[in-house]
């Protein structure tokens, strides 16, 4: 039995699990329709993520961490991965606060957006005073060392941030990095690709939301040029900081779609909208629906959790109030995310033909929508510790895997990466992949080593 959101009422949806069918010994399939109750789970119904900026010094605030862990499945370090934080003295790298965020996220099964490798702002003093070839090499060294350090742990890097002028010029921003030569951006992208081939590489900027603005057009032409010449770029980040002076433009969805049409993913990377009540909620709904309407808009990140956490708290621009209560804007986003999305099917297989005592088991959960899917696989060690695992999971012919995380893939087999192979008895870890076509009802098997 398969039910979709169209065939049951919202009240019934909340009960979530609609059918459980035992197909054969050891194989259990549960099908549920959508109406997830958190931002991350709601976004996952259409293969998207919902993220937030996180500040390391707030990880001891239990209200903050409670909302973070409950609602979000992607994290961006608000300041801790910036150049001044990670390389305070030339060639001396410090990752303490960034690691606290990355480790927290990964322990919670959240993914991480890296922000940011090359930027004119928040440069450490030694870099601010540099120019020319010395700066070019220092910048490339920074990109390489930081991307290498986090290799395999980052879903997407904002490789270059805010490199274009505001206003009508459409020119590059005059910065010490720009003065090293117009090719500094593509050099940074090439270095990032070499250092972490698994990460998606993004160009990220603000005031690039209105399709008619000169800055938007200039970024578009750069991305088009990069795609034409084979410069490695996978995504464009639209920061999307909105207020009365810079409202959500009527052509926002057009902008997202036009970037996507260049063959890159589009991500809303720093969303906040000043305001309150129903007006703010309506603006958040518009932004969310615009992303949902663009297949390659892969996720939304808000720039903080509570209004009081915001870089512009006076504008109360976020989804939770200062006490951590959900605002009307939160409900508008959640409802918009729940208005699309597919059917979730969880398949548990308990078989394991395994040379290791205790072995492992694998459970696959599929979020499917028209034309695509995300499969999340939970691997659990048996009665003994294991040092590695391989999950075999066949997809129907004609479906294609477009990206995966927390595992390396070889055809129908996904194996652990460096950080998630060692599991103690009974311990679980998750990996996932996204694809086009149908995932069917996969029945994964797990082999431990
Ligand atoms: O939110 C960040 C704030 O805490 C910092 O003081 C500020 C310093 O530049 O950066 C803020 O984050 C910015 C982001 O890194 C890039 N886009 C604009 C964001 C808001 O200013």
What 3-state class would DSSP assign to 16? Answer: coil
pLDDT at 8 over 70: no
Cα 336 to ligand 1 centroid, rounded to whole Å: 27
User: Whose alpha carbon is nearest atom 19 of ligand 1?
Assistant: 270
Return the structure tokens found at 336.
Answer: 């918009």
121 pLDDT band, cuts 50/70/90, is very high
Q: What is the DSSP string of 38-72?
A: SHHHHHHTTT-EEEEEE-GGGTT-HHHHHHHHHH-
Q: For residue 86, which of 100, 98, 69 has the smallest C-alpha distance?
A: 98
Q: Which residue has the CA at smallest separation from atom 4 of ligand 1?
A: 311
- Give the pLDDT band (50/70/90) at residue 33: low
Distance CA 310, CA 346 (A): 37
Q: What is the pLDDT of residue 433?
A: 86
Predicted pLDDT at 300: 98
Residue of the CA atom closest to atom 3 of ligand 1: 311
Distance CA(81)–CA(99), nearest Å, equals 9
Percentage of the chain lying above the pLDDT 70 cut = 89
Among the residue ranges 79-88, 249-258, 265-274, 413-422, the one predicted with the least confidence is: 413-422
Q: Report the nearest-CA residue for atom 14 of ligand 1.
A: 78
Average pLDDT over residues 208-221: 98
- CA of 311 relative to ligand 1 center, distance in Å: 7
Of 197-206, 251-260, 410-419, least confident by mean pLDDT is 410-419
For position 358, what pLDDT does the model report? Answer: 77
Crossing angle (nearest 10°) for helices 184-195 and 214-229: 50
Residue nearest to ligand 1 atom 20, measured at CA: 311
Q: What confidence score (pLDDT) does residue 374 get?
A: 81
- pLDDT at position 27 over 60: no
Quick one: DSSP state of residue 310?
S
- Report pLDDT for 406: 80
pLDDT score recorded for residue 24:
37
Tell me which residue of 206, 222, 286 sits closest to 254, measured CA to CA: 286
* Spatial CA neighbour of 362 closest among 386, 374, 375, 380: 380
Q: How far is the CA of 206 from the centre of ligand 1 (A)?
A: 11
Catalytic residue among 78, 80, 186, 270: 270
Q: Is 410 exposed, middle or buried (0-12, 13-18, 19+ CB in 10 A)?
A: exposed
pLDDT of residue 22: 38
Residue 164 binned pLDDT confidence (cut-offs 50, 70, 90): very high
Q: Among candidates 299, 439, 431, which has minimal Cα distance to 372? A: 439
What's the pLDDT at 366?
84
CA of residue 113 to ligand 1 center, whole Å: 15
* Sheet strands (E) in 252-342: 265-273, 297-302
Could you tell me if the CB of 311 is within 6 A of ligand 1?
A: yes
Least confident among 134-148, 190-204, 335-349: 335-349
pLDDT on residue 311: 98
Q: Which of 78, 80, 162, 285 is catalytic?
A: 162
Structure confidence at residue 446 (pLDDT): 92
Whether 80 sits among the annotated catalytic residues: the reply is no
Query: Mean pLDDT throughout 46-68?
Result: 98
Q: Is the pLDDT of residue 225 over 70?
A: yes
Closest atom of ligand 1 to CA, residue 311: 1
Q: pLDDT at residue 62 above 80? A: yes
What is the pTM assigned to this prediction?
0.75
Could you tell me if the CB of 20 is within 6 A of ligand 1? no
Query: Lowest-confidence range among 163-177, 207-221, 353-367, 421-435?
Result: 353-367
Return the closest-CA partner of residue 428 out of 416, 440, 441: 416
| Burial label, 12 (beta-carbon count in 10 A; 0-12, 13-18, 19+) | middle
- Cβ of 121 closer than 6 Å to ligand 1, yes or no, is yes
Is residue 274 among the annotated active site residues? no
pLDDT at 5: 33
Q: What is the mean pLDDT of residues 176-205?
A: 98
Least trusted range by pLDDT, from 101-115, 281-295, 397-411 = 397-411
Q: Kindly tell me the burial class for residue 398, based on how many C-beta atoms sit within 10 Å of its own C-beta (0-12, 13-18, 19 or more).
A: exposed
Mean pLDDT of the chain: 90
Q: What is the pLDDT of residues 295-314, one digit of tens each?
A: 999 999 999 999 999 999 99
Q: Which token pair is 374? A: 């995300």
Ligand 1 atom nearest the C-alpha of 55 is 4
pLDDT of residue 342: 58
Pocket of ligand 1 contains residue 216 by CB under 6 Å:
no
**Is the distance from the beta carbon of residue 313 to the nearest atom of ligand 1 less than 6 Å?**
no
């Amino acid at each position: 039995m398969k039910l979709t959101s169209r065939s049951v009422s919202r009240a019934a949806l909340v009960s979530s699990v609609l059918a459980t069918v035992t197909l054969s010994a050891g194989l259990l399939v549960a099908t549920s329709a959508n109406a997830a109750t958190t931002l991350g789970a709601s976004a996952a119904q259409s293969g998207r993520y919902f993220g937030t900026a996180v500040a390391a010094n707030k990880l001891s605030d239990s209200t903050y961490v409670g909302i973070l862990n409950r609602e979000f499945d992607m994290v961006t370090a608000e300041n801790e991965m910036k150049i001044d934080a990670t390389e305070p003295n030339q060639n001396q790298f410090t990752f303490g606060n960034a690691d606290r965020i990355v480790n927290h996220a990964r322990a919670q099964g959240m993914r991480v957006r890296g922000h940011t490798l090359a930027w004119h702002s928040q440069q450490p003093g030694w870099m601010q005073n540099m120019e020319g070839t010395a700066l070019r090499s220092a910048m490339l060294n920074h990109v390489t060392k930081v991307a290498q350090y986090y290799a395999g742990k980052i879903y997407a890097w904002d490789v270059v941030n805010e490199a274009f002028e505001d206003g009508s010029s459409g020119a590059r921003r005059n910065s010490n990095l720009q003065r090293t030569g117009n090719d500094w951006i593509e050099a940074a992208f090439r270095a990032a690709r070499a250092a972490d081939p698994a990460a998606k590489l993004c160009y990220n900027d603000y005031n690039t939301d209105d399709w008619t603005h000169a800055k938007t057009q200039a970024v578009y032409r750069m991305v088009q040029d990069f795609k034409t010449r084979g410069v490695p770029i996978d995504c464009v980040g639209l920061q999307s900081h909105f207020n009365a002076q810079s409202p959500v433009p009527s052509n926002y969805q057009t902008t997202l779609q036009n970037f996507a049409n260049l063959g890159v993913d589009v991500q809303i990377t720093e969303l906040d909208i000043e305001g309150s009540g129903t007006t703010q909620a309506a603006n958040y709904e518009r932004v969310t629906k615009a992303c949902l309407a663009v297949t390659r808009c892969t996720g939304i990140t808000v720039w903080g959790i509570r209004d009081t956490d915001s870089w512009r708290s006076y504008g109360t621009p976020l989804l939770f109030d200062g006490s951590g209560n959900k605002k009307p804007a939160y409900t508008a986003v959640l409802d918009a995310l729940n208005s699309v999305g597919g059917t979730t099917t969880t398949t548990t297989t308990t078989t394991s033909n395994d040379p290791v005592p205790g072995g492992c088991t694998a459970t696959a959960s599929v979020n499917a929508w028209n034309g695509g899917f995300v499969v999340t696989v939970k691997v659990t060690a048996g009665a003994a510790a294991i040092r590695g695992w391989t999950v075999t999971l066949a997809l129907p012919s004609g479906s294609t895997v477009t990206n995966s995380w927390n595992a390396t893939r070889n055809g129908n087999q996904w194996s652990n990466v460096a950080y998630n192979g060692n599991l103690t008895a009974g311990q679980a870890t998750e990996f996932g992949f996204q694809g086009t076509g149908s995932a069917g009802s996969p029945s994964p098997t797990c082999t431990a080593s």
